[in-house]
């Protein structure tokens, strides 16, 4: 038996609050997990940006990467670390670079998901290049943008074929709006997508490894209020359906961490934006949901690092296409895709790892988010985006949202453990004495010498008797026939 240290690197951009929380909770938890015959400990540090030799060894077992999608030096370093050192990375950098929203739409259409009608429109203008004019003159067809708009229908949306964060998205109510948006699009390559309007429900589902968090979403609200906190906004079947779609997308593209937006209209769920492999992770937008995300990152990080999860350097789409070829309903097909995705993320092994190796994580996270350290991490993020005179009020606002999560989290965990057993006990009495009680007295709790305690109590002393005939350990009044509290989802 030996002690091994697994090293986690955080490749960060403007991320502020979640890395602080991640590092401090890991320090509080100080986990030592058993993998085979070895004890595994963990270290975490932030990855620096600097020159490096391609032959230099990368000693991270896991890199959580938040830069690949926009910063080339980090992306190329990640690629080199995977190729030469087998570093496990969230997310696959080749997939992020090559599989933009356009590819994601095409792939999910091919798998039979109901994607709104979407058109690619050539860019309005171009960067000058040597052969551009010749190419366009020879091969570019003239087109009538108005006719395309009529075919798609209104309302619709013009948005970039790549990127995220609602950048460049324009709602189009008529042909005039379509032409105006196109004139303003410049060199950007744009989609025009049919709007699912009006819709009955807008949700966003975050997937992190096999873990999912489904949130009701209001795109019209200010950024810090878009994620709603209500819980019963979908049925259990709808929740499973959206979770399966989210995990399918993530497994298909090799993304450990991604989010999926979907709209419900007339009984059909329409995924509309699901190539987001660097999802929002800040308390100033996630508020109530922020602690769940930090905990999910910790769980998946510790599992992937401890078990030396193998980085898949290429993508295997064949199993998904094989399911597509079977004559299944949309619902059944997505269920089968979900099974493939859960197998991809080694879900059963992950859940067993968390249950056996991280039994105290829930409580450590709960304690941490009630602390001044957590409040300080929140304040540091608030200071970056709110005016100075609003820092304290918004710090309190987001901290209180986190306290609301703590209250709900504790209630859910208490319910999962089940109700505490309460037992009536008779106080010791002198030899030969007797206690005569009635059922009414027992029910009211007014009988002399009768008390309650949690857990298993000791029987009454020898010689004591009761004319009720009630055995020691009888349930308290009102407990008979009580329904067992429902267990919350394991993912929560």
381-405 pLDDT, tens per residue? 999 999 999 999 999 999 999 999 9
**Is 49 in a helix, a strand, or coil?**
coil
Banded model confidence at residue 481, pLDDT cuts 50, 70, 90: very low
Residue 468 pLDDT level (bands cut at 50, 70, 90): very low
Query: Where is average pLDDT lowest: 268-277, 302-311, 453-462?
Result: 453-462
What pLDDT does 131 receive?
Answer: 92
pLDDT at 428: 55
More confident position, 222 or 448: 222
Ranges 94-103, 129-138, 297-306, 437-446: which has the least confidence: 437-446
Long-range residue pairs from 71-76, CB within 8 A, at least 24 positions apart, any chain:
71/13, 73/49, 74/11, 74/47, 74/49
pLDDT for residue 223 is more than 50: yes
Give the least confident one: 140-149, 272-281, 451-460: 451-460
- pLDDT greater than 50 at residue 449: no
State CA 276 to chain mean position distance. 12
Neighbours of 249 (CB within 10 A): 27
Helix crossing, 236-253 with 330-344: angle to 10°?
60
Confidence of residue 163 (pLDDT cuts 50, 70, 90): confident
Tell me what the mean pLDDT of segment 150-167 comes to.
89
Residue 76 DSSP SS3:
helix
Q: Is the pLDDT of residue 442 over 70?
A: no
Strands (E), 61-162: 62-65, 88-90, 118-121, 156-160
pLDDT at 374 over 60: yes
Longest Cα–Cα distance in the chain? 113
pLDDT of residue 318: 97
Res 426: pLDDT: 57
The sign of the dihedral angle between the CA atoms of 400, 375, 260, 220 is: positive
Mean pLDDT (the chain, rounded): 87
The predicted structure's pLDDT at residue 492: 35
Helices (H), 189-328: 236-253, 283-286, 290-306, 318-325
Examine the pLDDT at 474 and tell me if it is beyond 90: no
Q: Is 97 left (phi over 0), alpha (psi -120 to 50) or beta?
A: alpha
> What was the pLDDT predicted at 470?
35
Helices 318-325 + 330-344 axis angle, to 10: 160
**In the predicted model, is pLDDT for residue 188 greater than 50?**
yes
Chain CA centroid to CA 412, Å? 18
Query: In this predicted structure, what is the pLDDT of residue 437?
Result: 39
**For residues 95-115, average pLDDT:** 95
Q: Are 272 and 63 in contact, with CB atoms under 8 Å apart?
A: no
Q: What is the mean pLDDT of residues 253-262?
A: 97
> Would you state the structure tokens that stand for residue 217, as one six-digit string?
């979403």
Q: Nearest Cα to 20, choosing from 398, 384, 373? A: 373
DSSP state of 435: B
- Residue with the bigger pLDDT between 70 and 44: it is 44
What's the pLDDT score for residue 1?
Answer: 78
- Res 445 pLDDT > 70: no
Contacts of 351-358 with C-beta under 8 Å, sequence gap 24+, read 351/210, 351/490, 353/33, 353/303, 353/306, 353/307, 354/299, 354/303, 357/31, 357/33, 357/34, 357/302, 357/306, 358/29, 358/31, 358/33, 358/299, 358/302
Q: What digits encode the pLDDT tens for the residues 209-220?
A: 999 999 999 989
Q: List, for residues 308-318, the tens digit of each pLDDT value.
A: 999 998 899 99
3-state secondary structure of 454: strand
Q: Which residues contact 446 (CB under 8 A, 6 or more apart)?
A: none
- The pLDDT-based confidence of 432 (bands split at 50, 70, 90) is very low
Question: Over 70: is that where the pLDDT of 80 sits?
Answer: yes
State yes or no: pLDDT of 418 exceeds 60.
Answer: yes
CA distance 238 to 231: 13
Task: In whole angstroms, give the CA distance from residue 273 to residue 166.
Answer: 10
Return the sign of the alpha-carbon dihedral for residues 150, 152, 153, 159: negative
Average pLDDT over residues 397-420: 93
Is the pLDDT confidence value at 485 over 90? no
Query: pLDDT exceeding 90 applies to what percent of the chain?
Result: 79
pLDDT of residue 196: 97
pLDDT value for 464: 36
Q: Is 195 left (phi over 0), alpha (psi -120 to 50) or beta?
A: beta
């Amino acid at each position: 038996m030996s002690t091994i240290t697994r090293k986690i690197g955080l490749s960060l951009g403007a991320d502020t609050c979640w890395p602080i929380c991640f590092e401090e909770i890991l320090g509080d938890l100080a986990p030592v997990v058993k993998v085979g015959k070895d004890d595994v400990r963990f270290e975490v540090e932030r990855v620096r940006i600097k020159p490096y030799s391609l032959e230099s060894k990368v000693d991270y077992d896991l890199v959580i990467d938040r830069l690949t999608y926009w910063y080339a030096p980090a992306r190329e370093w990640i690629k080199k670390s995977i190729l030469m050192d087998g570093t496990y990375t969230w997310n696959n950098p080749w997939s992020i670079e090559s599989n933009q929203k356009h590819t994601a739409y095409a792939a999910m259409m091919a798998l039979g998901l109901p994607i709104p009608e979407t058109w690619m429109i050539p860019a309005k203008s171009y960067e000058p290049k040597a052969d551009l004019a010749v190419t366009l003159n020879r091969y570019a067809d003239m087109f009538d943008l108005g006719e395309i708009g009529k075919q798609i229908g209104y309302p619709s949306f013009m948005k970039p074929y790549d990127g995220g964060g609602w950048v460049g998205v324009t709602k189009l109510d008529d042909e005039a709006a379509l032409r105006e948006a196109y004139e303003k699009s410049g060199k950007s390559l744009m989609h025009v997508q049919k709007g699912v309007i009006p819709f009955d429900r807008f949700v966003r589902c975050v997937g992190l490894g096999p873990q999912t968090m489904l949130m009701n979403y209001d795109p019209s609200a200010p950024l810090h209020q878009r994620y709603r906190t209500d819980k019963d906004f979908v049925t259990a079947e709808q929740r499973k359906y959206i979770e399966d779609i989210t995990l399918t997308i993530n497994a298909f593209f090799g993304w450990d961490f991604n989010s999926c937006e979907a709209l419900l209209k007339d009984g059909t769920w329409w995924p509309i934006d699901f190539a987001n492999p660097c999802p929002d992770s800040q308390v100033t937008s996630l508020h109530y949901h922020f602690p769940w995300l930090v905990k999910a990152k910790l769980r998946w990080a510790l599992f992937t690092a401890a078990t030396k999860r193998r980085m898949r350097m290429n993508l295997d789409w064949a199993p998904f296409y094989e399911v597509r070829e079977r004559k299944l309903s949309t619902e059944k097909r997505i269920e089968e895709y979900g099974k493939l995705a859960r197998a991809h993320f080694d879900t059963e092994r992950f859940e067993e790892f968390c249950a056996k190796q991280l039994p105290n994580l829930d409580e450590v996270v709960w304690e941490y988010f009630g602390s001044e350290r957590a409040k300080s991490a929140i304040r540091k993020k608030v200071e970056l985006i709110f005016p100075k005179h609003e820092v304290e009020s918004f710090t309190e606002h987001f901290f209180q949202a986190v306290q609301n999560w703590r209250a709900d989290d504790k209630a859910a965990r208490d319910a999962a453990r089940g109700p505490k057993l309460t037992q009536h006990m008779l106080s010791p009495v002198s030899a030969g004495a007797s206690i005569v009680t009635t059922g009414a007295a027992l029910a009211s709790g007014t009988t002399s010498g009768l008390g309650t305690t949690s857990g298993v109590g000791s029987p009454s002393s020898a010689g004591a008797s009761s004319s009720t005939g009630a055995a020691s350990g009888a349930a308290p009044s009102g407990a008979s026939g009580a329904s067992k509290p429902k267990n919350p989802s394991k993912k929560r």
